[in-house]
Amino acid sequence: MEISYKSTRGSGETLTASQAILQGLSPDGGLFVPTQIPRLPKSLQELSQLSYQELAYEIMSRFLTDFTPAELKSCIQKAYDSKFDTDAIAPLVERDGAHYLELFHGATIAFKDMALSILPHLMTVSAKKNREEREIVILTATSGDTGKAAMAGFADVPGTRIIVFYPKHGVSPIQEKQMVTQKGNNTHVVGITGNFDDAQTAVKKMFHDPDLAGELSRAGFLFSSANSINIGRLVPQIVYYVYAYATLLREGKIQEREKINVVVPTGNFGNILAAYYGKQMGLPIEKLICASNDNKVLYDFFSTGIYDRDREFILTTSPSMDILISSNLERLIYKIAGEDSAKCREFMGSLSTEGKYTITAAMREQLGDFYGDFATEAETAQTIARIFRDTGYMIDPHTAVAAAVYGKYKAQTGDGRATVIASTASPYKFTRSVLSALDAKYDSMTDFELVDALHGLTGVPIPRAIEEIRTAPILHDRVVDAEDMPGTVLDILGIS
């Protein structure tokens, strides 16, 4: 079955998967979605016997139908290799009454590695398939993890350059150090004085600017994106939810077709949307539990049907979730609006001009797959401390938000079915937050003293990604205002 891609705001014209991956964002401002969701290719029992790489091929080949088997298998083999510190790629760890899906065993110790390890390979194959001779410029805004993972994936990949913008005062010290020490002749990192939403909005405006696109094209460049707005990011994320179910089945923790719950700490909505697509494929998921931090715009949306970004932006200990404009929610809005692109354009236009939109009663009725709640900063810290005290298992603040919300869900519903919690980052990426949750005595330590203290407490080996930046020199130190981002891009590319 051939799967094509169309824009959530378009008039019905379609692209191949490789064309959608190359473009990243539709010229009309919409996001690319598949014309249909394929079904799971084999029985769950058959899928449970596959390695991560084999399963990745089975799922991704159903979405990326213009890739040959050889092309896709090559991309998968290059992506999921020794960069990951476990053969399982995404192991499940049972603790505290839930199954933690550890998505942080890649090169940059965060879940973004799961998709950004393969996106550069998908993109270079896509360029060849479409005879694209211009140099691809990956333009990305990051709330902390995407930037480093994208740069690690694209560093020194021929025919590409990558420019990452991040909020200068809105990421953890480890996250920032990972980015500003990034090697690669084609990598560029720029801090901005605003927040993530400012960076993301400016990046989207650059994608929509025909004059800028023309200027780049004449200079031999083509914009594309490594954010989760790129369908080449989203499709690989579906794989690990299928793999989690397959692992539970293989280990005898569930029976075939038994339903599970999935809990996802959510900011830009891409990670939980991948789980939703998995359910649409036939994966037996009962509830998709959307966990927010104090920036609870998604919790309020699921509670009221109103998406309202007009609120205080709060800096938290889970910075990758400090987002008020959840871009990937547009794909869900398009789906529950009956794939009516005019309606979707209207909602997104209202969000842009008025800062909010309200979905219809009929659309709200289609949100039964989801449950939303949030965890405060105090609840997040308490959850880190409790789980470590009770089980010896250390989780990062984003995972703790998910665990806290799952506790609320269980208390409210009494639902005791098997539950997978997406563990999106290593605690080594947020040492100050996790150790401060245990004891105030850690507050006076330096960042790398905290790394050593965490190792001493847990016995978990210090990841290579942390050891590498301990003494690495700062290679990127540019900081600009959000309104200066387009000029910064032109300067980096040498376009006067």
Burial 392-401 (b: 16+ CB within 10 A, else e): ebbbbbbbbb
**Residue 73 a catalytic site member:** no
* CA proximity to 372, closest of 321, 423, 331: 321
Pairing of strands 356-358, 306-308: antiparallel
- Return the bridge partners of 358, or none: 306
CA separation for the pair 58, 56 (Å, rounded):
6
Please tell me what DSSP assigns to residue 475. Answer: -
CA separation for the pair 136, 125 (Å, rounded):
12
End-to-end CA separation in angstroms for the chain? 47
Helix axes 196-208, 210-218, angle to 10 degrees: 70
DSSP letters, 80-110, are: SSTTSSSTTSS-EEEETTEEEEE---STTSB
Pairing of strands 98-102, 92-95: antiparallel
CA separation for the pair 51, 113 (Å, rounded):
18
Of 6, 112, 177, 279, the active-site residue reads: 112
Neighbouring residues of 210: CB distance < 8 A, sequence distance ≥ 6: none
DSSP letters, 183-227, are: --TTEEEEEESS-HHHHHHHHHHHHH-HHHHHHHHHTTEEEE--S
Pairing of strands 5-7, 14-15: antiparallel
Which residues are marked as active site? 112
